[in-house]
Amino acid sequence: NAGVTQTPKFRVLKTGQSMTLLCAQDMNHEYMYWYRQDPGMGLRLIHYSVGEGTTAKGEVPDGYNVSRLKKQNFLLGLESAAPSQTSVYFCASSSWAVGNQPQHFGDGTRLSIL
Amino acid sequence: QQPVQSPQAVILREGEDAVINCSSSKALYSVHWYRQKHGEAPVFLMILLKGGEQKGHDKISASFNEKKQQSSLYLTASQLSYSGTYFCGTPPDSTLGRLYFGRGTQLTVWP
């Protein structure tokens, strides 16, 4: 019953450092998403993927890169972290028929950039 | 393309009712509703598709009026466990694999 698993759960970085957030799902879902959540802003889509080897930009993609080499994994990278990227990051997945299929969320990664 | 939710916050006593609205300036193909408790991940409640249908989840139901481009979430006889932030999400069209989420409505239920 793992569902969507995010690692790490917490991380503190210094400005300019890089890191990768990992999302893994065991539901064989085609679609995967990365969101960031800031107070009062709701969930904003960073990047998403509609299948292995494909990625696309969301609403707030600047400063982030993603890769989906395997269907079950979706990686979010910060090449040069900035304080504005301090946020809670959620990964989600859904099966192909997005209009009528729910998104399943991981527990989130709380990232602070000093 | 972010849907607009209202109100931003609601405070209730146990047993009272509440309505949360979600509207869009663009055509709606479907509406998703999620609830997020403090410090936790959003959890799926229900999806409404075109056709003005209503759905229910426990004592929480929702309606979808595609002509008015809006959906409403109805919480009846609120329980303490209903506290949290409610988000609606709408796809930008009928084919793309993503949702735009509203900014959320914070619901607090007091005993």
Euclidean distance between CA atoms A9 and A13, whole angstroms: 13
- CA of B53, closest CA in chain A: separation in Å? 13
- CB distance A42–B102 less than 8 Å? yes
Residue type present at position B84 = G
Residue A112 near residue A98, CB atoms below 8 Å: no
* Chain A, chain B: beta-carbon pairs less than 8 Å apart: 60
Residue B12 near residue B78, CB atoms below 8 Å: yes
Nearest to A105 among B42, B100, B104 (CB): B42
- CA of B40, closest CA in chain A: separation in Å? 6
Residue-level pLDDT at B50: 76
Q: Residue A16 has which token pair? A: 């300019």
Query: At residue A113, does pLDDT exceed 90?
Result: yes
- CB distance B103–A41 less than 8 Å? yes
Nearest to B103 among A31, A42, A58 (CB): A42
Residue-level pLDDT at B77: 92
> Three-state SS for A98?
helix
Nearest to A50 among B87, B97, B101 (CB): B97
Euclidean distance between CA atoms A109 and A114, whole angstroms: 16
Residue A97 phi, psi dihedral angles, 5° rounding: -85, 80
Q: Taking CA B54 as the corner, what is the angle to CA A104 and CA B15, rounded to the nearest 5 degrees?
A: 85
pLDDT means over runs of 10, chain B (111 residues): 93 96 89 94 90 69 88 93 95 77 95 93
Chain segment A64-106, per-residue pLDDT in tens: 999 999 999 999 999 999 999 999 999 999 987 656 788 999 9
Query: Beta A104-105 vs A42-51: how paired, if at all?
Result: unpaired
Query: Beta A109-113 vs A10-13: how paired, if at all?
Result: parallel
Contacts for B23 with CB less than 8 Å, ≥ 6 apart: B3, B4, B6, B68, B69, B70, B71
- CA of B101, closest CA in chain A: separation in Å? 6
Residue-level pLDDT at B98: 83
